[in-house]
Amino acid sequence: MKKILDLVVIENNKLNQNYCLIKLTTTDKSLLPDMFPGQFVEVKVDNSPSTYLRRPISVNYVDKIKNELWLLIQVIGDGTRKMCEWEAGEIVNLLLPLGNTFTIPDSDNGHELLLIGGGVGTAPMLFLGACLKEKGFKPKFLLGARSKNDLLQLDDFARYGEVFCTTEDGSFGEKGYVTDHSVLNNIRFSQIYTCGPKPMMVAVARYADTNKINCEVSLENLMACGFGVCLCCVEKTREGNVCVCIDGPVFNIEKLTWIS
Report the run of H or E that residue 156 belongs to, with start and end.
Answer: helix 154-158
57 among annotated binding-site residues:
yes
Alpha-carbon distances, residue 190 vs 90, 111, 213 (angstroms): 43, 6, 6
55 among annotated binding-site residues:
yes
245 among annotated binding-site residues:
yes
179 among annotated binding-site residues:
no
What is the Cα 54 distance to its own chain's centre?
17
230 among annotated binding-site residues:
yes
Distance CA 164, CA 259 (A): 26
114 phi, psi to nearest 5 deg: -120, 125
DSSP 154: H
131 among annotated binding-site residues:
no
233 among annotated binding-site residues:
yes
232 among annotated binding-site residues:
no
Q: Which of 137, 148, 92, 82 is nearest to 115 (CA)?
A: 137
253 among annotated binding-site residues:
no
DSSP 256: B
Annotated binding residues, as ranges? 55-58, 72-74, 79-80, 225, 230, 233, 245
Annotated binding residues for FAD, as ranges? 55-58, 72-74, 79-80
Annotated binding residues for [2Fe-2S] cluster, as ranges? 225, 230, 233, 245
